[in-house]
Amino acid sequence: MDKQESYKPEEAKYMGYSLIYHSTSLKKDEVIRTYFEKDIVEKAYRELKSSINLHPIRKYRIQ
C-alpha cells in the first residue's frame, strides 16, 4: 500500500500485513513477487479441486 490515497476505505479495510521471512540470496522485490505468484497458483489449484469434487481419501486399516 504505497499509495494509500488510491484505495477506497471499503477496499482498504480488508487489506492486512504480511510478514515474509526468507534466508535466500534473492532481492526483496523478487521474494515478494514469488510469494504472491505462489498464492495465485494455490488459489487456482483450490478452484480446480472444488470444481471436480476432489477431496482427500482416507483409508484406515483395522487390526
* Interval 25-49: pLDDT, tens: 999 999 988 888 888 888 888 888 7
Q: Which amino acid is at 42?
A: E
Most confidently predicted of 5-9, 16-20, 32-36, 45-49: 32-36
Total number of residues shown for the chain = 63
Residue 63 located in a structural domain: no
Kindly report the pTM of this predicted structure. Answer: 0.46
Burial of 26-60, coded b for 16+ CB within 10 Å and e otherwise, reads eeeeeeeeeeeeeeeeeeeeeeeeeeeeeeeeeee
Classified as helix, coil or strand, 7 is coil
Phi, psi for 15 (deg, rounded to 5): -85, 145
So what's the pLDDT on residue 3? 57
Residue 45 located in a structural domain: yes
Number of domains within the chain: 1
Residue 33 located in a structural domain: yes
Residue 5 located in a structural domain: no
